[in-house]
Amino acid sequence: MRETPRPQGTVGSRAEPPQPRPDRALAHTAGATGSGTPHRSDGRPPHTPRGARQPGPDDRPGATPPAPGRSAVFWAILVLTLVTWQVLVDGPLARLDVRVSRALVDSVPRGLSELGADLGNMTVALPVLGCAMAYAFRRGHRLAALYTGLAMAAVPLLVIPLKEWTARPGPLEPWAEGYYPSGHTATAVVAYFGAAMLLGTRWAMPAAWVLTLATGTGLVLRGYHWPLDVAASLCLGVLILAVCATRMRQDSAD
């Protein structure tokens, strides 16, 4: 079957571009005059994560990780300083802490509180973080995985000197020292929230909250730590994660 040849214009004349029909809207309306790129007609960003932000080079995440804000960092520093001072001088806040702890210890079955406390063990928390780091590394977010690993390495470097400095006895072992701050709580904060930052899924951050709060609550109810031990480690974890996330943001922006 022969195709009917299209009519040709006059030699030397330029073909005019097709004109849009007056009764039809253009399929791609420019977001702004002269922009030259198709956008939504209402000016809203496309339905993609982080406003269609594409991943950067292989060693940087494409999206800014969730991180503690400036107000959270400020309050973490303030609370950590206040609590540490009260523990050192055996102030009224530390004495109230003792009374609260005695009222809470063994208020639930020990098996339940033990289960929560065990979530802060290295054998539980570190594999969770390790899996998240491997996932991030496999997806090309190598620096993010590295910074999170360094954040976890910073936990004992900060917790152990504080334990030796404060020399606080434990609720069930008054003859022993080195309970402030809680190493298990700091491990849980950095491991679970660090994993959530690397995964970046919608459920990861709520899961980190549940696991961390379960850890701190179990430690207090079982009598392994005073409430202020847990509160101090929560603040310390916020500061460690803030530094980690800042580095991740800076490398993502470069």
**140-162 per-position pLDDT tens digit:** 999 999 999 999 999 999 999 99
Q: Say how far apart CA 188 and CA 199 lie, in whole Å.
A: 16
Q: Are 35 and 209 in contact (CB under 8 A)?
A: no
3-state secondary structure of 12: coil
Q: Is 206 exposed, middle or buried (0-12, 13-18, 19+ CB in 10 A)?
A: exposed
pLDDT along the chain (254 residues), means of 10: 47 48 44 44 47 42 56 94 96 96 94 96 97 95 95 97 96 90 98 96 95 98 97 97 89 70
Which stretches of 144-232 are assigned E, i.e. beta strand?
Answer: none
User: In this predicted structure, what is the pLDDT of residue 58?
Assistant: 40
User: Which tokens belong to 195?
Assistant: 């994993």
Q: How many CB atoms lie within 10 A of CB 83?
A: 23
- Report the amino acid identity of residue 142: R
Mind listing the pLDDT tens digit for each residue in 27-66? 444 444 444 444 444 555 544 444 444 444 444 444 445 5
User: Which tokens belong to 172?
Assistant: 């069930």
Task: Evaluate the CA torsion angle 234, 235, 240, 243 in order and state its sign.
Answer: positive
In the chain the domains, ranked by start, together with CATH numbers, are 70-253 (1.20.144)
User: In this predicted structure, what is the pLDDT of residue 249?
Assistant: 84
Q: Is 107 exposed, middle or buried (0-12, 13-18, 19+ CB in 10 A)?
A: exposed
How many angstroms separate the Cα of 56 from the Cα of each of 37, 246, 248? 22, 17, 12
Cis? peptide before 7, omega within 30° of 0:
no
Q: Say how far apart CA 114 and CA 217 lie, in whole Å.
A: 10
User: In this predicted structure, what is the pLDDT of residue 62?
Assistant: 41
Q: Say how far apart CA 254 and CA 249 lie, in whole Å.
A: 9
Q: Say how far apart CA 196 and CA 203 lie, in whole Å.
A: 8
User: In this predicted structure, what is the pLDDT of residue 33?
Assistant: 44
How many angstroms separate the Cα of 13 from the Cα of each of 6, 16, 51, 215, 222? 16, 9, 45, 80, 90
Q: Say how far apart CA 133 and CA 147 lie, in whole Å.
A: 10
User: In this predicted structure, what is the pLDDT of residue 254?
Assistant: 65
User: In this predicted structure, what is the pLDDT of residue 38?
Assistant: 45
